A and B are shown apart, each in its own frame.
Chain A
Amino acid sequence: MKYMQLAQRIVQRAKKKGAKQAEAFLEVGRNSSVRVRDGQVEDLTEATSKGVGVRVIVRDRLGFAYTSDFEPASVDAIVDRALELALAAAPNKLNGLPSKAELGKPPETGPLFDPAVAALPSEWKIQAALEMERAGKAVDPRIATFESVGAGENVHEVYAASTEGLAAHAEGTYVFLYAVPVASADGQLQTAYWMDYERFLEDLDAPEEVGREAARRAVRMLGARKVKSQRVPVIFDPVMAASFVGSIAGAANGDAAFKKSTIFAPLKGKRLAPADVTIVDDGLLPRGLGTSAFDGEGVATRRTPILEKGVLKGFLYDAFTARKAKARTTGNAARGYSSLPHIGTNNLYLEAGARPPEELIREVKQGLYVTAMLGRGANTVTGDYSRGANGLWIENGELAFPVQEVTVAGNLLQMLKDIDGVGSDLQFRGSVGAPTLRFRELTVAGE
């Protein structure tokens, strides 16, 4: 446990040098990845990395410094620097680290570390990537090449210590596959992205399946064209729905709510969506990519409903923002060692509904099924939502032809109200998950 000792030594030095409170957040990890091209290895990367961030409170002022150098002199220097920097900041009575009570009791998360991932040989990743490439090309002769196709894994540990009694350690793994094929026909090129990220090797989709799905998604976009500007029902596939759910979590940011810079600010307790819409952040989801016993400042994570049966239940907080807003931290402090905590999500998802996704499509006479989007998405201050979209046009309940170069636009609040179909196909591709989602009407802008 030499890293825990280092974290504690940093906290002690800060305290001795005059910090009222101090915290060390230390990360160590290693990662490895491989990419292939035309049946050959294209590149192989292996690395180890580490770093520690020091947060201090001196006379109600906040200072922060980090280093990737663990030499004692360098670590000491960074502690001293954090203390000096605090003096450049303004005093704020609300500054402070999470108290013992706020830290809470570490909850049970179940396993987060897979020894099989930690021991994953390069050969496995190379073979997996080659299989994705082979399976993808076999889908259709119009798969011309791959922009990139690869696999990799990450093994990481966190050590956190503070003057307030924090002494926490966690370790975890993840493994990933991704494929970005390019389909070509009649002078048009189309691409698609498909991937899987999991903590456990046995949860990972088969490489052939990832390669095939990516290829299917690219090929079906060939011949894509614009459509006329119109207001029609729009369906987001689960990956696009997940990015919409991400926008909702952004609007539920507790800091933005406190500053009234999110359209959700005055709406706590109000019905925003139909009863079959429940959006949750859950730090304890079994085997979840975003699962951990504690957040970026050591606070126990939990399950926090954002929208429950369509009603806005609350906002996401870290300890500082919660104190400011006279609320309680929800264990949503996100960070790496090189940044101060900020509000983020753990495992964020929209709960599965009852409708088979095929049915949601079949009920649409004219509409757009969105499978890829460009641009940032929602402006949570104004609620404006406008993104470039690619997908498939729906005609009489069938996916008829591919569409590109259009935008879908609406307003976040109106979009929530307009959800008229929640699919039963909840899936996670990373730490955010959603099922197929249908909106009664959005503006599609094209010709």
Chain B
Amino acid sequence: MPLIERLLAAAMARGGEFAEVYVERSVTTAVVLDEERIKSAQMGLSQGVGVRVVSGAKVGYAYSDDLDEPALLRAAGTAALIAQAQGSERSFRVSRTPAPSYYRVPTPLADVDVARKADLVKRADATARAHDRRVRQVMASYADVTKRVAIANTDGRYSEDTQDLCRLNVTVVAEAKKERRTGTYGGGGRVPFTYFDTFTPEHVAREAARQATATLGAVEAEAGPQTVVLAPGWSGILLHEAVGHGLEADFIRKKTSLFAGKLEQKVASDLVTVIDDGSVANGRGSINVDDEGNPGERKVLIEKGVLRGYMYDSLNAKLMGQRSTGSGRRESFKHMPMPRMTNTYLAPGDDTPGDILKSVKRGLYCANFGGGQVDITNGNFVFEVSEAYQIEDGRLGRPVRGAVLIGVGPEALKNVSRVGCDPMPDPGMGTCGKDGQSVPVGVGLPTLRIDHMTVGGTHVGGAR
């Protein structure tokens, strides 16, 4: 009997209902450039096995980074203890489940010569510095991982996947008249290394430098409710935070999300359709199979403002009488899977970006976001707007500093008054954290107008 089947049998020895073995081997490579030189080149190997046993609503989890058989059997035996029944001698057979293929990376990123990776960050550095005299510092990094996983469970399912992922990132600090601003841009995905032949380091560096210099001389953000227009792409982080997390099934089952019990109810403006799609070709958040071996899929969460569904991992699906939506993800073998997003975006509408801008007499244009956070229970979210401009009479005005958007998810969605027809995926920069676990995600949004959004800033009322 193969070891993985023996582990399943050991995991079920105390009479659990379900057991799963997750095997991972990840090779990471990173190159970091700072102060005009490659500061370090590094790589790492992380491997281990996580064993999960489910007994009713109870879960036992144990992991080991020792791969010898006694250590693995010990881990399986530890996880088994969650079930308290008498000994059982059942055996389990697994067979390979076919999986789709949404990303093909012919040469694993781990096998690409590190000198080529170093070359990317050097070219980025040179371009950013040449872009503008006000550029003072450039930090560039390239990182990739080639992660191989195998998942077997007592339903007889066995899946394997190779998940390559890379990202080039450039941060620029510009200075003028003692004022310093930063700009950050980057991207990548589950793509072959040749992706950077078209998504060039020069392009990434110019955009980071543009952001840093464009916001020099910014005025203080005006505090209070305003009409805001979100730029397409990375602004999707707002959707991810404000809505996405609240639709994850664990929060729904525990009734700790304000979207619990609202299925088929109107939760957003008619213009809003939200989709989570694990099958986007080469997407940063794409998965052939999730970390429970279920295929990645496309699911409509909100359709024309009506809540249609939640994102389920297999445990919450079972406890709630639903089926898994391929949303069970985990950071590594050291973690239990839980419902997570993959690539989450808002479907395009009818308005041109130009018309949306023209429709706003006075407001704030949010070109780029730093990061955000949500309290899924009360729905409060915040976003740092790293590049923003005043809108006056339908035109972009002066850059604005220190703006933060704050709101309650469903209220913000109800106030969506225009949705652009422009393409909306982000360049592949997002990492989502939940319960201390990080997973790569994609986000996306067309140009969007939201009315009555609270803008946090330092300037209160009246003329400047």
Contact = CB atoms under 8 A, between A and B. Distances in A.
Q: Do A and B come from one complex?
A: yes
B137 A388 contact: no
Contact of B460 (A86, A188, A408, A443): A443
Q: Which of B37, B48, B454 has the largest count of A CB atoms less than 10 A from its CB?
A: B454
Nearest to B35: A259
B415 to A, nearest CB: 13
A174 interface: no
Contacts of B336: 43, 45
Contact of A375 (B48, B63, B258, B382): B382
Contacts of A43: 58-61, 82, 336
Given A382-B180, A388-B406, A445-B455, A47 B35 contact: no
A261 B60 CA distance: 47
Contact of B456 (A47, A147, A407): A407
Given A47-B64, A65-B44, A381 B255 contact: no
B47 A407 contact: no
Nearest to A266: B178
A445 B382 CA distance: 12
Contacts of B180: 260-261, 381-382
Interface stretch (B13-21, B367-375, B389-397): B367-375
B64 A48 contact: yes
A435 to B, nearest CB: 25
Given A48-B66, A189-B378, A409 B402 contact: yes
A4 interface: no
A364 B78 CA distance: 55
A374 interface: yes
Contacts of A51: 46, 65
Contacts of B117: 88
Interface in B443-464: 454-461
Interface in A221-241: 221, 224, 226, 229-231
Nearest to B385: A386
Contacts of A406: 406, 454, 456
A191 B407 CA distance: 16
A76 interface: no
B225 interface: yes
B58 A65 contact: no
A169 interface: no
Contacts of B39: 62, 89-90, 92
Contact of A230 (B115, B373, B460): B460
Contacts of A89: 37-41, 118
A404 interface: yes
Interface in B378-426: 378, 380-384, 401-404, 406-408
B370 A376 contact: yes
Contacts of A202: none
Interface in B203-229: 221, 223-225
B110 to A, nearest CB: 11
Interface stretch (A11-19, A34-42, A204-212, A311-319): A34-42
A135 interface: no
Given A48-B66, A49-B334, A388 B256 contact: no
Contacts of A372: 375
A405 B373 contact: no
**Chain B interface SS verdict (over half):** strand
B61 A88 contact: no
Interface string B26-58: 000001000101111111111110000000011
Interface string B342-373: 00000000000000000000000000001111
Nearest to B402: A384
A189 B381 contact: no
A69 B26 CA distance: 12
Contacts of A86: 41
A224 B457 contact: no
Interface size grouping (class) on chain B: 35 or more
A247 interface: no
Contact of A191 (B37, B225, B377): B377
Contacts of B129: none
Contact of B61 (A44, A50, A74, A386): A44
Q: Which of A89, A191, A226 has the largest count of B CB atoms less than 10 A from its CB?
A: A89
B81 A375 contact: no
B404 A386 contact: yes
B159 interface: no
A229 B44 contact: no
B153 interface: no
A376 B371 contact: yes
B254 A145 contact: yes
A274 interface: no
18 contacts: A41-B58, A42-B59, A44-B82, A45-B60, A45-B336, A88-B118, A182-B255, A189-B258, A226-B454, A259-B137, A376-B371, A388-B380, A388-B406, A405-B406, A408-B456, A409-B404, A409-B456, A446-B454
Interface of A: 37, 40-51, 53, 62-69, 74, 78, 81-82, 84-86, 88-90, 92, 144-148, 182, 188-191, 221, 224, 226, 229-231, 259-261, 338, 340, 372, 374-376, 379, 381-382, 384, 386-388, 390, 404-411, 443-447
Given A147-B251, A384-B458, A407-B382, 11 more contacts: A47-B61, A48-B65, A48-B66, A68-B46, A81-B43, A190-B378, A191-B256, A191-B378, A260-B180, A405-B406, A407-B454
